Amino acid sequence: MTLRRPHDCVRCGKTIDPGEEFGAVDVLDPAGELRVLLCVDCAEALRTFLGGTDNGGADGATETPE
């Protein structure tokens, strides 16, 4: 996917400009399918959180799996 115009990261608000790397997430909300864009840092935090090794960046700390 290539951006044609700047978009804001839905998590932190950082502007993602065309040509920059970003994360795209397809989710299903109550109203139907929704695609959101994340900056690289937020996409990495989401990937880590979904992998079960982090608290989602709530306090900036990460947990180490035992």
Beta bridge partners of 25: 36
pLDDT 10s per residue in the chain (66 long)? Answer: 788 999 999 999 999 999 999 998 888 878 877 788 999 999 999 999 988 765 555 555 444 444
Nearest CA to 8 out of 38, 43, 29, 32 is that of: 38
Q: How many domains does the chain have?
A: 1
pTM score: 0.65
Measured distance CA(23)–CA(25) in Å, rounded: 7
21 in a structural domain: yes
66 in a structural domain: no
For the chain, counts of helices (H) and of strands (E): 1, 4
Range of the domain at 35: 7-50
Amino acid (one-letter) located at 25: V
For the four alpha carbons of 35, 37, 40 and 41, in that order, the dihedral sign comes to negative
22 in a structural domain: yes
44 in a structural domain: yes
